[in-house]
Amino acid sequence: MVISAETRARIDLEIAKYPKRRGALLPTLHLVQEELGHISLDTAKEVAEIFAIAPVEVMEVVTFYNMFFDRPQGRHHVYVCTNLPCSLRGARGLLRELEKHLGVQTGETTPDGRITLGHEECLGACAYAPMMRIDGKYHEDLDVDEAKRIVDALR
């Protein structure tokens, strides 16, 4: 058992909200990932049992959606939006600077496991570009120095 009893209880509350049990699969994966950091095949097997579906049906959902991870991630997720409105205002240059600053390529995790650097498609902050999303929080109207300061403060 990798999913805690507490998370399991929260999953049951989600299941109760939907006319069909499987409606709660995305909310469940959010809860499980919040607890475990990613959704491994073993975790997917356990989730599959809860929903009486095949593990592959869980994994196809995990790998379809960008916010679910099938492998371990850094302690912090730093995502720079690189869609067109952000690119027009320098987001790709900012991402290159962060790559140099952290010594990783986009998509990689720092060797100390502190930060996974990534880029995302439009995050709905188009007028306040460039921007990044860190652990669910938006940081907008950035310049390179400010972005480095924010990233350096992550422990």
Partner 1 sequence: MLKVPYVTNYLSEHFAEDDYPTLEGYLRRGGYAAARKAITQMTPDQVIDVVKASGLQGRGGAGFPTGLKWSFMPKTTDKPKYLACNADESEPGSFKDRILLERAPHKLLEGILIAAWATQAQTTFIYCRGEYAFPAAQLARAIDEAYAKGYLGKRVMGSRFSHEVVLMLGAGAYIAGEETGLLESLEGKMAKPRKKPPFPAEHGAFGMPTTVNNVETFCHVPHIIGNGAAWFKGFGTEKSPGTTIFGVSGHVVRPGLYELPLGTRLDEIVFEHAGGLSAGRKVKGVIPGGMSMPILPAGQLDVPMANEFLRERKTMLGTGGIMVMDDTTCMVRAGWVITYFFRDESCGQCTQCREGTGWMHKIFERIERGAGSRGDLEILLDVASKMDGQTICAFADAAAWPVQGLLRHFREDFEAHVSHGKCPFPQSFEL
71 vs 111, which CB is nearer to partner 1?
71
| Contact in structure between 24 and 17 (CB atoms under 8 Å) | yes
Write down the least CB distance from residue 151 to partner 1, Å.
Answer: 19
Smallest distance, partner 1 to C-beta of residue 27, A: 6
Q: Are 41 and 54 a contacting pair, CB within 8 Å? A: no
Which spans of this chain sit near partner 1 (rule: CB under 8 A)?
17-20, 22-27, 29-30, 51, 60-61, 64-68, 82-85, 87-90, 92-93, 96, 120-129, 133, 136-138
Nearer to partner 1 by Cβ, of 102 and 129: the residue is: 129
- 128 DSSP 8-state letter: G
CB 113, min distance to partner 1, A: 22
Q: Do 97 and 150 touch, CB atoms closer than 8 A?
A: no
**Cβ proximity to partner 1, 138 vs 149, nearer residue:** 138
| Both structure tokens of 105 | 């390529």
CA distance 9 to 144: 43
